[in-house]
């Protein structure tokens, strides 16, 4: 079941308490694809890089079955982001954002990807997200990500996007900012009233929440020994979410979406264990299955049948 | 199965965005007992009030089966706390804390309560917590609460308490401060190495985590339409936790403790729906059962059998 991801393809420079990495693979589309490729085949990435991009470094995505036909190469500099994470890794300072060729990006969806059943609009200008929606046929499930920059600076097109997607991925601050509501339940309701049937709120170490019509689902944050580099966790989360939906044949029932949130949480937790997308180079099926089992174990509070027998 | 709770019995004055209440029932022992009394019988409260305390207001606890034999009445002012919650209710300013008769409190456990199987040491001076431990016989399960004030100012006696309890209740900031570790998993391990087999970390709207030897259990925060007054949520949590253990005949297995965390979370969520302990005056068994069911629903991501049949 084909997935289309449109987003940034960047070079990140990151400093964390554990070390630093310079000009390494980054961007929402790259993290998404790296994570999703472990669960699904037939992924189509659309984005842009400059002529300085170490394009060969993306081979590992191609080898994992990701089509890079929609990756445009323009003259100029690639999108670069650099940041420093603080001691407790829950906050960061952006040192520099250089849009480069991304400033003039106009997404063109290859014919092979226009019929994708599942579409993820990474965190880019909502006007570009609308351009993508104009080019796809009739996807079964479309979600978008966004951020404070667009909530403040491109509110109208963002609201238009909301009216055309099935789900929104935001963090808790973004949800509150978008809705102008401090209560997360109210904020999610406000967003849902603008169009999307589902709101997925990512809360970092505190987990994630899926808000639906009359349901709320909580996924815990995976308790990591070391959070090596938080960059890309949210995009890997979305990749895991979509990858699971695709692997299950596009079942987008409430129960399927709950499981997808767990797969997203698992992929987000892997992403932060190493710099860049490096964890996804070595990740195995067994490791994924084991972590999904841990999520099940972390939230289970039912007595086993034998215990019910013992303790009445 | 008898429960002993030792803690503060206070008069709270609270201002929230939704209103204010003056000189209303408060204190860790009162919130704990109000919550626990909905799940368990045979509760023994030990604390102190001044001669200004509206002692008749505690009748509702006595009527719910809480023994107030250990509630000392001293000459002088009762413990008073007043605070203001900010707009988003996640932070507050303490306006005033007047210890009154609490300053000279020396807990004396009535004979009838010394044999209690379950003992909760509310958030009081760890030196007093030690005095309580010296007076009880051989409880099956003892837990303590604490706060930044004691972590900074009474570290040695607090560490001695840790060596003598089965479980510690703290919030996430307290856990990090106590252990000097920003990673919560490491902080919980540090605390466990000081004695307690279990660490229960309360995270307010983000839920609660139970850390054991090689297990981690997450309970979600209940998504409330309105958080009317957050005061006492943590003590009601502990009351729900202990109340469930008592109701289950003192089963303190890992699975029983997980369920106890869910009951604690439910009681904490009720506490904040009204000022003071008012929600516990009207709370019914059906409401509790319904909320426990909601917690189950909020964390379940398994396919129902029929779905497995349908979707393979």
Where residue B226 falls among pLDDT bands split at 50, 70, 90?
confident
Q: Quick one: which of B237, B267, B243 has its CA closest to B256? A: B243
> pLDDT tens for residues B120-139?
999 999 999 999 999 999 99
Find the mean pLDDT for residues B114-122.
Answer: 98
Give CA torsion, residues B187, B192, B193, B197, to 10 deg: -170
Helix/strand/coil (H/E/C) assignment for every residue in chain B: CCEEEECCCEEEEEEECCEEEEEEEECHHHHHHHHHCCCCCCEEEEEEEECCCCHHHHHHHHHCCEEEEEEEEECCCCEEEEEEECCCCCCEEEEEEECHHHHHCCCCCCHHHHCCCEEEECCCCHHHHHHHHHHCCCCCEEEEECCHHHHHHCHHHHHHHHCCCCEEEEEHHHHHHHHCCCCHHHHHHHHHHCCCCEEEEECHHHCEEEECCCCEEEECCCCCCCCCCCCCHHHHHHHHHHHHHHHCCCCCCHHHHHHHHHHHHHHHHHHCCCCCCCHHHHCCHHHHHHHHHHHHHHHCCCCCHHHHHHHC
- Work out the percent of chain A whose per-residue pLDDT is above 90: 89
Can you give the pTM of this predicted structure? 0.94
Q: Is residue B307 part of a domain?
A: no
Find the mean pLDDT for residues B74-98.
Answer: 88
Q: Is residue B299 part of a domain?
A: no
CA A135 to chain centre: 21
Burial A209-245 (b: 16+ CB within 10 A, else e): bbbbeeebbbbbbbbbeebbbbbbbbbbbbbbbbbbb
Work out the mean pLDDT of chain B and round it to a whole number. 94
Could you give the 3-state DSSP secondary structure of residue A54?
Answer: coil
Q: Looking at beta carbons, which residues of chain B come within 8 Å of A88?
A: 182
More confident of the two residues A90 and B4: B4
Between CA B172 and CA B193 the distance in angstroms is 17
Find the mean pLDDT for residues A233-256.
Answer: 96
List, as ranges, residues 32-91 from A with C-beta within 8 Å of B.
87-89
Find the mean pLDDT for residues B168-195.
Answer: 96
Return the pLDDT at A306: 45
Q: Looking at beta carbons, which residues of chain A come within 8 Å of B257?
A: none
Domain that holds residue B274: 3-284
Contact B207 A226 (CB under 8 A): no
Number of domains in chain B: 1
Return the pLDDT at B87: 72
For B224, the closest chain A residue by CA position comes to A185
Instruction: Point out which residues pair with A48 in neighbouring strands.
Output: A72
Instruction: State the first-to-last Cα distance of chain A, in angstroms, to the nearest integer.
Output: 47
Find the mean pLDDT for residues A79-105.
Answer: 88
Half-sphere exposure (Cβ direction) of A114: Cα atoms closer than 13 Å: 9
> pLDDT tens for residues B8-25?
999 999 999 889 999 999
Q: Looking at beta carbons, which residues of chain A come within 8 Å of B296?
A: 301-302
Q: Is residue B211 part of a domain?
A: yes
Measured between alpha carbons, how far is residue A102 from residues A67, A79, A304 in Å?
A: 20, 6, 54
Is B205 in CB contact (< 8 Å) with chain A? Answer: yes
ipTM above 0.95?
A: no
| CATH number of the structural domain spanning residue B54 | 3.40.1190.20
Between CA B270 and CA B274 the distance in angstroms is 8
Is A227 in CB contact (< 8 Å) with chain B? Answer: yes
Where residue A309 falls among pLDDT bands split at 50, 70, 90?
very low
The rounded radius of gyration (Å) of the Cα atoms in chain B is 19
Where residue A307 falls among pLDDT bands split at 50, 70, 90?
very low
Q: Is residue B260 part of a domain?
A: yes
Is A207 in CB contact (< 8 Å) with chain B? Answer: yes
| Encoded tokens for B255 | 């699975």
Return the pLDDT at B107: 97
Confidence check: pLDDT of A262 > 80? yes
More confident of the two residues B300 and B306: B300
Return the pLDDT at B306: 44
């Amino acid at each position: 079941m084909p997935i289309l991801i449109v987003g940034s393809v960047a070079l990140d420079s990151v400093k964390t308490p554990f070390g630093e990495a310079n000009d390494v693979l980054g961007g929402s589309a790259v993290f998404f694809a790296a994570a999703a490729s472990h669960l699904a085949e037939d992924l189509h990435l659309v984005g842009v890089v400059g002529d300085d991009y170490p394009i060969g470094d993306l081979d590992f995505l191609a080898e994992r079955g990701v089509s890079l036909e929609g990756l445009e190469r323009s003259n100029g500099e690639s999108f670069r982001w650099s940041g420093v994470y603080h001691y407790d890794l829950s906050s960061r300072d952006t040192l520099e954002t250089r849009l480069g060729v991304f400033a003039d990006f106009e997404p063109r969806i290859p014919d092979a990807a226009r019929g994708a059943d599942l579409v993820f609009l990474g965190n880019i200008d909502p006007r570009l997200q609308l351009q993508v929606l104009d080019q796809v046929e009739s996807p079964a499930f479309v979600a978008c990500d966004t951020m404070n920059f667009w909530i403040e600076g491109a509110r109208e097109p963002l609201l238009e996007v909301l009216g055309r997607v099935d789900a929104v991925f935001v963090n808790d601050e973004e949800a509150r900012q978008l809705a102008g509501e401090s209560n997360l339940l109210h904020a999610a309701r406000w967003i849902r009233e603008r169009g999307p049937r589902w709101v997925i709120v990512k809360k970092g170490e505190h987990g994630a929440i899926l808000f639906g019509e009359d349901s709320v689902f909580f996924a815990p944050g995976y308790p990591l020994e070391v959070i090596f580099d938080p960059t890309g966790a949210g995009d890997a989360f979305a990749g895991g979410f979509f990858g699971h939906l695709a692997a299950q044949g596009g079942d987008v029932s409430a129960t399927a979406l709950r499981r997808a949130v767990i797969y997203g949480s698992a992929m987000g937790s892997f992403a932060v264990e190493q710099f860049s997308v490096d964890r996804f180079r070595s990740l195995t099926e067994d490791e994924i299955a084991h972590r999904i089992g841990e999520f099940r174990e972390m939230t289970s509070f039912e007595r086993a049948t034998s215990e019910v027998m013992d303790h009445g």
